[in-house]
Amino acid sequence: MSKKLTSRSEDYSKWYNELVVKADLAENSAVRGCMVIKPYGYAIWEKMQAELDKKFKETGHQNAYFPLFVPKSLFEAEERNAEGFAKECAVVTHYRLQNDPDKPGKLRVDPEARLEEELVVRPTSEAIIWNTFKGWVQSYRDLPLLINQWANVVRWEMRTRLFLRTAEFLWQEGHTAHATKVEALDEAKLMNGVYANFVENFMAIPVIQGVKTENERFAGADETYCIEALMQDGKALQAGTSHFLGQNFAKAFDVKFANKEGKQDYVWATSWGVSTRLMGALIMTHSDDHGLVLPPSLAPNQVVIVPIYKSEDDLNEITEVANSILADLRSKNRTAKFDNRTTHRPGAKFAQHELQGVPLRIAIGPKDLANGTVEIARRDTLTKEIVSLNYLAARVEALLEDIQSSLYNKALNYRDTHSTEVNSFDEFKDVLENKGGFISAHWDGTNDTEDKIKDLTKATIRCIPLENKKEEGVCVFTGNPSKQRVLFAKAY
């Protein structure tokens, strides 16, 4: 394995793959399309989970857990949903293996052990959950029902990439039931806002909130809200979705309740999710040719201390200083680690922590001992400064806060300079080819036009932004009248 990462300009996608593996986030497994998330990568995912889980609970949701398997008959109950996912389902057909009579030492599927009804490995859980909700809802008093589950799902993708698209992935899926349409719509918007808030403030990634066009809508939804982020290579990434499901699932699974007037009515539904794909968004937004760059709020270690010493005495003295820094940082709820491995030299440690995106590195050597100082290096700018021990605590706080906000601002600035309004199809193609990023253009509102643009350019409508100014115009492709601009981009 070479020491240096392939640079982004050389081969962006190679850079991404190498970074994921070398920073020890994840690796490919023996199972096609399925990854192993390694401890360092999982620690970052756990930080995301913890914060999201807190936000879900603050908005009144409770966690529960539903089965991995969905009987085929339940899966097909909501037709549009079933149709949308049918082509990418793993299906369990048998429940037993046996010794293969023709190949000693090998196993085969027992042909006698075919399941009466096939089980679909969930690509999403609406079916099994709505079948369950039927038993939980009788009256308006049982509503709203606000449930979330943390789970794995399987979508049998043709081409996979670590974190961005894997056959199995981890996610959370919220499923809620409401007495009124307005309430369900509000819930879908609320949760989309929770995602936007989390991704922007915690992951330092600016997002556009919007609604999907009919083409891009979730199978079985009446409306899909989403957050869209722009990656460093000019491609968009859908970072989260929140669906207003209308009464589609309530009708498919016969989930009715008695309202205050004593009349039976179908409940209104939402579902919403974010996945380990957020790890991909994180990497592709902030990282550089030296490796991962983590916003402090997601870094498993916000600060790492590296000792530089010639003698045992030096090391002992450095350890004392390091321990008092650690204690101080921990008392401020900062995570820090003293990297006192004797098996690696300082240069190797510097390189490793840079590769893994540790926001701040403190180096302490003989010179520092003599002067009562340390050297602090920040990962995002790669700049160093000498700080007196007396001011260290305050300086670390200030730097961590500054890194968090400047990562966001840098990403926002990139997005702003890579969002372009175009008014002709030539301009559209030119910007898409030569500049990339979001393209704001008028569209006549038809699926047909959207499909044709996709065929010609590979760009899709990422969303119709929620905070869209109304503006009359003509469709960039057909010249037909349009009421507002929509956001196009090539997408992951």
Q: Which residues bind RNA (CB under 7 A)?
A: 1, 3-5, 13, 28, 32, 87-88, 155, 157-160, 164-167, 169, 218, 238, 241, 275-277, 290, 308-310, 342, 345-348, 350-352, 354-355, 363-369, 374-375, 377, 382, 384, 492
Which is nearer to RNA, 36 or 348 (by Cβ)?
A: 348
Least CB distance from residue 84 to RNA, whole Å? Answer: 7
Residue with tokens 């449930």: 147
Question: CB 109 → RNA: shortest distance, Å?
Answer: 15
Which of 177, 219 has the CB closer to RNA? 219
Structure tokens at 16: 């991404």
CB nearer RNA, residue 256 or residue 290: 290
- In the complex, the smallest distance separating the C-beta of residue 350 from RNA, rounded to whole angstroms, is 4
Rounded least distance, CB 62 to RNA, Å? 24
Nearest distance from C-beta of residue 172 to RNA, angstroms: 12
Nearer to RNA, 145 or 396 (CB): 396
Whichever of 331 and 342 has its CB closer to RNA, that residue is 342
Query: Least Å distance between CB 438 and RNA?
Result: 16
Task: Tell me the closest approach of the beta carbon of residue 137 to RNA, in angstroms.
Answer: 28
Residue nearer to RNA on the CB measure, 194 or 267 = 194
Q: Closest CB to RNA among 33 and 144?
A: 33
Among residues 259 and 446, whose Cβ is nearest to RNA?
Answer: 446
Is the Cβ of residue 137 or residue 364 nearer to RNA in the bound state? 364
Q: How far is the CB of 39 from RNA (least distance, A)?
A: 18
Question: Minimum Å distance from CB 266 to RNA?
Answer: 25
Say how far apart CA 178 and CA 185 lie, in whole Å.
9
In the bound state with RNA, the residue whose beta carbon lies nearer, of 414 and 492, is 492
Provide, rounded to whole angstroms, the least separation between the CB of residue 240 and RNA. Answer: 8
CA 8/CA 27 separation, integer angstroms: 20
